[in-house]
Structure 1
Amino acid sequence: MAKWTPSAKIPYSAGVPETLTLTNLLDDAAMISIEHQLHLADVVGDHNWNVDLRQQRFTFDKEDHSITCSRFHLLGSAAPGPGSWLWAWANPSGFPDELTALSATLRDFGQRYNIAELASAEVPFDTLPGSPAEPHHAASILIEAAKAVTGQWTSYSGDAGGGTRVAFLVEHPAFRLPPPEPARVMRVIQQALTDMWLTDHRRALHGYAVRRGLGATFNADHTKLALTGPGFEATAAFDELGRVADINATLSSTHGA
C-alpha cells in the first residue's frame, strides 16, 4: 500500500524539515482525487449502491449489470446528531477487521505525525477546516486525507439513514485511471482551483502532476510551474500569495481541446 513519504514533497521544500498537517494531506489529495471521482462516475453511471458489511460485498448496480468491488475499506461515518465523524476502527458495532484495518493505519499515521483528526476516535465537525456543518462535507474532508495517506484514490460516500453519511474507499480494475488525457487534465486542475479548499496551490498542482506521470518543472524562484505530457503543455503562474493566478495551456489536435 502506497503511503506518504518525504519524496512526495514539492521541490522548493526539499531538504527543509516539515511538520505534516491535515491541510498538507488535503492539498496532496485534491486534484488526483477529483480525477478518480470523475472516472468513477464515468464507469458506474446511473446506479444504485449496495453494501453488506458482514459478507464484505460492495456493488454498484446498473440497469444492465452490476460492478462488484474487488475490495473495499470502511473509513467511518459522519452523523448529524453529535455533529461528528467516527472512524471505523473505533466503531463499537464490531465490523470485520478486514474492513476497518485501513482506518486503523490512518490512526497510527495520525499518532506518528501528530494529526489529531486522524488519531482521534471521534472528530467534531467544527474542528475540521472550514468548520463544516453538513455530514457529507465533513466526511469528504477526512476521505481526502485518507486517500493521501493510503494511496487509494477512489471513494464512495452514501446515505446510511437519518442524515448519517458512511464513507468507503473502493477498489476495482475498472476504477484505475486511463492514461492522462489533456482536456481531462485541464478540467481537473480548473475544478480543483475553483471548488476545492486548497492551502498550497504549488504543492497541490505539482503533486498532481507527479502522481499523474506528467512532467513538472518550477522556474528558479518558483513563480511558474511548467507541466508537460502527451499532447499537453501548460504553464501555471503563481501570485505573491502562492495562488495560481493564470494557466496557459496548449493541447495538441490529436488529443482534442
Structure 2
Amino acid sequence: MREVRNSLTFANLLDDAALLSLEHQLHLEEVLAEHSWHVNLKQPLFEFTGDRTITCTAFHLLGTAAPGPASWLWAWANPSGFPEAVVSASERVRDFGRQHDIPELASAEVPFASLPGSPSVPHVVAGLLTEAAKTVTGHWTSYNGEAGGGTRAAFLVEHPDFHLPAPEPVRVIRVIQQALADLSLTDHRRALRAYAAGRGLGAEFDDREGRLTGPGFEVVVDLDAYGRVTAIKAGLPSPDGPTP
C-alpha cells in the first residue's frame, strides 16, 4: 500500500496566518504608539511603557534568530532553561510540526537558508517562524525585539487591549489591500478563506471570484487562472443609511 503523507506545509501555515496576523499587528501599533518594552523571562514579566504601562496578562517566548550562526533556535530547545509557562507555546508548535512532518517547526534549530526566500535578516526570519506559530497556537499578537548582538527574540503577547474590535468595512478592505501589496502569499484564495474564518466573515469562492461578507458590507475579489487576486471591489454602507 502506498504511504499517504500529510499535505500541510509551512507555506500553508504562513498563508493561513497572513491577513489575521497583519490586522492584529496593525491594531497593536495603534494601541502602543511610541513605546518601550521590557521582559523578565525568569519572573516572568512582559510590559510595554509609553503613554501608559501595559503589563501583558501572558506572554510566550517562541525563539531567537541569531545572525552569527544564521539560524533560528526554538525556545523549547534553548539551553538557558526558561520557565515552562514561557516556552509551552513553542512546545505546542514543536509537537504540531512533528505530527504534520513540518521540519521548520519540529527541528530545534532552523537555518535561515532553509526558509522561504532564504532570508538573511534576523527580524525577517523571526517574523516567518512567528507567523506559522500563530496558526498553530491561536495567539495572534506578536512582538519581536533586539536581544543583543543583532539577535531578535520573538514573543506572542496577550492583553485585553490587543483584542480586535468587530470587523469594520474600511478596516477589512485595508487589511486585504495591504496584505496583497506587502506580503508574499503563496495561495491568495487560501489566505482570504482563513482570514474570513478568523474574523467571522462569510466567504464564497469559485474559479474566478471570491466574496467576503460582513455586517453591512461585502468585498469581492477577481481571481486569475492561477488563483491570484487581480482586482478588489467593495460595497460599503451609505453614511446616510439605506435609501428609502
Normalising by the smaller structure, the TM-score range is: over 0.9
Which residue is 2:163 aligned to? 176
- Indicate the residue corresponding to 1:56 in structure 2: 44
| Matched AA of 1:164 | T
Code of the residue aligned with 2:21 in structure 1: it is S
**1:231 touches 1:254 (CA, 8 Å); kept in 2?**
no
The residue that corresponds to 1:102 in the other structure is 89
* Structure 2 portions without partners, runs of 5+: none
1:40 to 28, 31, 51: 28
Cα deviations by residue, 1:28-63 (Å, 9 ceiling, x for unpaired):
000000000011111111100000111110001013
Deviation beyond 6 Å, 4+ runs, structure 1: none
- Per the alignment, residue 14 of structure 2 pairs with 26
Distance in structure 2 (CA, Å) of the matches to 1:162 and 1:254: 52
Equivalence for 2:234: 249
Q: 1:11 aligns to what?
A: none
Question: 1:225 aligns to what?
Answer: 210
**1:82 corresponds to which letter in structure 2?**
P
* Distance in 2 of aligned mates of 1:107 and 1:159: 24
**Quick one: distance in 1 between partners of 2:176 and 2:214?**
14
Q: Residues 104-123 of structure 1, C-alpha deviation per residue, up to 9 Å, x if partnerless? A: 11111000000000000000
State the TM-score, normalizing by the size of structure 1.
0.89
Once residues 119 and 238 of structure 2 are traced to their aligned partners in structure 1, the CA distance between those partners, rounded to angstroms, is 42
SS at match of 2:231: strand
The one-letter code sitting in structure 1 at the alignment partner of 2:57 is S
Any unmatched runs of 5+ in structure 1? 1-16
Counterparts of 1:184 and 1:254 in 2: how far apart (Å)?
16
Secondary structure in structure 2 of the residue aligned to 1:240: coil
Residue aligning to 1:138: 125
Aligned-partner Cα distance in 2 for 1:21–1:178? 30
Q: Secondary structure at the match of 1:161?
A: coil
Q: Which amino acid aligns with 2:138?
A: G
Q: What are the Cα deviations for residues 56-92 of structure 1, in whole angstroms up to 9, with x where unaligned? A: 10001013x2000000000000000000000000000
Give the Cα–Cα distance (whole angstroms) in 2 for the partners of residues 231 and 161 of structure 1. Answer: 48
| 1:115 alignment partner, one of 92, 102, 125 | 102
Identity %: 62
User: C-alpha distance in 2, partners of 1:129/1:168?
Assistant: 21
- Is 1:83 equivalent to 2:83 in the alignment? no
Moved more, 229-238 or 141-150: 229-238
Rounded to whole Å, the distance in 2 between the matches of 1:206 and 1:43 is 27
Q: Does 1:165 align with 2:152?
A: yes
SS of corresponding position for 2:85: helix
Displacement of 1:18:
5.8
Which one of the candidate residues 169, 194, 205 is aligned to 2:192?
205
- For these two proteins, the number of residue pairs brought into alignment is 236
> What's the C-alpha RMSD, in Å, of the aligned pairs?
1.3
- Structure 1 residue 231 displacement after superposition: 2.7
- Name the CA distance, whole Å, in 1 between partners of 2:184 and 2:137: 20
TM normalised by structure 2 equals 0.94
Kindly state the Cα deviation for residue 227 of structure 1 after the two structures are TM-superposed: 1.2
* Match of residue 148, structure 1, among 130, 135, 143: 135
Deviation at 1:167, TM superposition (A): 0.3
Letter in 2 for 1:203: R
